[in-house]
Amino acid sequence: MRARTLHPGTASGELIRLTAPLSFWGGTDATGRIVDAHHPQCGAVLAGRILLMPSGRGSSSSSSVLAEQIRTHTAPAAIVLATPDPIIPLGALIAAELYNLCLPVVVAPYDDLPPHGRLQVHATSDDATITLI
């Protein structure tokens, strides 16, 4: 499947599909677990997985939380959004600049991706692909 790159990188992992938007600030903890008590997937671990969600959910502070999770290796391996979001790729950009760690962020049709399985995300500045592996 083709996708649109918001931040380049390559990653693979087990897919986790969220049914609602998520804010990293207040929505996840330092281990990469969803702690927002109102989120449908509260308790799920995002660390090392390919995160698929409809969109991000606010706070500009989410970018710093995501950058810290990338630094500590507790972030998702890649993030696939159904709609573009400026905050999530900013966190990936910060981590790339400060820590030389890349987390791909792409936009792809939410409903066209499988509900589970292992995916590889390969994103360059020109294009991106998502492959079931």
Q: Is 55 a catalytic residue?
A: no
C-alpha span between 57 and 83 (Å, rounded) = 11
> Per the residue annotation, which of 59, 60, 64, 125 is the catalytic one?
59
- Tell me the C-alpha distance between 70 and 52, whole Å: 17
For the chain, first and last CA: distance in Å? 12
The bridge status of strand 78-81 relative to strand 105-107 is parallel
C-alpha span between 66 and 88 (Å, rounded):
7
Residues with catalytic function: 59
